Structure 1
Amino acid sequence: MLPSSSSYNYTFGNLRSYNFIASFVSSVIVKFRAIEEAHEGLKDHVSLKICQILKVLKADKYVSESTAQTRYISKSQKIDEN
């Protein structure tokens, strides 16, 4: 038994609209994922730049005032209090 032409057109029309909606939702999801990945990359880049600036400003040299002479100590070294 073949479907009547009116029910066939109605079903086919629904399938086309569902395909359009699914395609639209899929493209929106892909765009949001791309935005999220770009945001993560930007956060990493900004964090790296902030760390580099802080390294230049603070971490290059410390002055130890506990000794008679002034010494410059890099961040990676421990301050010798002797």
Structure 2
Amino acid sequence: MVTGLEILLLALVLAAIVGASRVIQAVRPFIVNAIVGLVVLFLAQAVFDISVAITPIALLIVAIGGLPGSILVILLSILEIAFV
């Protein structure tokens, strides 16, 4: 026999799974942007020998801005305004 507690636990687990999937769907673009931006920063350091400090603020700019954000961080580093 299925009890009320088992049904409640099943409903809670399903709600947690749906909530987790929505969080992952919301965060996925930021993760992709961060990975692309970090690859661009790595290539800038490896190919052009540009030193860019990877700080939490730089990661935030790259995660939100993607490729344009990483170019902004590189330019700010080249001009020695930030991320030196």
Question: What TM-score do the two structures reach when normalised by structure 2?
Answer: 0.40
- In terms of Rg, which structure is larger? 1
Higher strand share: 1
Higher helix share: 2
